[in-house]
Amino acid sequence: MAVSRRPRARFALEDGINLTPLLDMIFNLIFFFILATSINELASLDIKLPKADVPQIADSEKRALTVAITQDGRIVFQGETLTRETLTERIRDAAAQGNVAGVVIRGDRDSRLQASIDAMMACRDAGVTQVQMDMDRSRPAP
């Protein structure tokens, strides 16, 4: 019994070039260049932020209310520590009397940003549009 052996090809050559790795590499390069271009455009945006104005006082009777933000993030208004909701009510009551020119938010240099945002949102909710941020680093908030 003779066993027939087929000749084995030592190196099997395909009938063409396998394009799958080439296409993978091209798609990866395209993806990389798209991302790199987008990040470069975002980094080169010229953003000009507006400057805050001091509340204009029309009458000598009108005054600016002062809200202080302490270092640990507490909101202090007229010597009392308040929440955002209570601050909104207090500012709304003062604005209803008609003698409020605006609100000045003074913050400690190491105060939390969220407390300042809460104070600004309380002013907005109370209907006061003249708000000034006073973050003088030479003096702490009261």
* Structural domain of 84: 63-134
Is residue 22 included in any domain, yes or no? Answer: no
Task: Retrieve residue 67's tokens.
Answer: 């809200």
Is residue 90 included in any domain, yes or no? Answer: yes
pTM for this model (two decimals): 0.52
Number of domains in the chain: 1
Residue 121: how many other CB atoms lie within 10 Å: 13
Residue 117 maps to which CATH number? 3.30.420.270
Q: Which amino acid is at 87?
A: L
Is residue 111 included in any domain, yes or no? Answer: yes
Residue 117: how many other CB atoms lie within 10 Å: 13
Element (H, E) at 124: helix 113-126
Residue 73, Cα to own-chain centre: how many angstroms? 18
Q: Where are the alpha helices (DSSP H) in the chain?
A: 20-43, 84-96, 113-126
Is residue 55 included in any domain, yes or no? Answer: no
Strand partners, 103: 65, 131
Is residue 123 included in any domain, yes or no? Answer: yes
Is residue 5 included in any domain, yes or no? Answer: no
Of 53, 49, 50, the C-alpha closest to 130 is: 53
Residue 141: per-residue pLDDT: 47
Q: Give me the average pLDDT of each 10-residue run along the chain (142 residues).
A: 61 71 93 75 61 56 81 85 87 82 81 82 84 66 49
Is residue 15 included in any domain, yes or no? Answer: no
Is residue 25 included in any domain, yes or no? Answer: no
